[in-house]
Amino acid sequence: MQKKKKPIDPELKQLLAELEDIVQRLGYKLRYEKGDFEGGYCLLKESRLFVINSKNEIERRISIISRNLKEIGIDSIFIKPNVREVIERESARAKLTDEEIPEESDERSDEEGDPE
């Protein structure tokens, strides 16, 4: 029994195509590969490369490409405002999930040592 693919939202498909175009304009090659990884960008010898897991859903692909574009820098090229907004939003979301929440014991020791 073969698994049915869910229909892809045309707006998401268009957004992904625009992000892929930005990757290429910045001088990176984009590849979709199978494997045990999420995806990201790297420098391989003389090549600048984005590798995205081909098993990721389109929303996940958009998120990964957006976060990595923000990390390498997008200020030097024109990007449509709605696409730039997605890149900014995904980057901010990634920062929120990457931040470590301080442990309670650390907070208490700071409060005890503070004479205020």
DSSP for 50-90, written as a single string: EEEETTS-HHHHHHHHHHHHHHH--TTS---HHHHHHHHHH
Contact criterion met (CB below 8 Å) for 50 and 40: yes
Q: What pTM, to 2 d.p., does this model score?
A: 0.73
Angle of CA points 79, 29, 52, to nearest 5° = 90
Residue 93 has pLDDT above 50, yes or no: yes
Q: Which domains does the chain have, with CATH numbers?
A: 10-98 (3.30.2010)
pLDDT tens for 4-57 read: 667 888 999 999 999 999 999 999 999 998 877 778 767 667 788 898 989 999
pLDDT value for 4: 66
**What is the rounded average pLDDT of the residues 64-86?**
94
| pLDDT in the model for residue 62 | 95
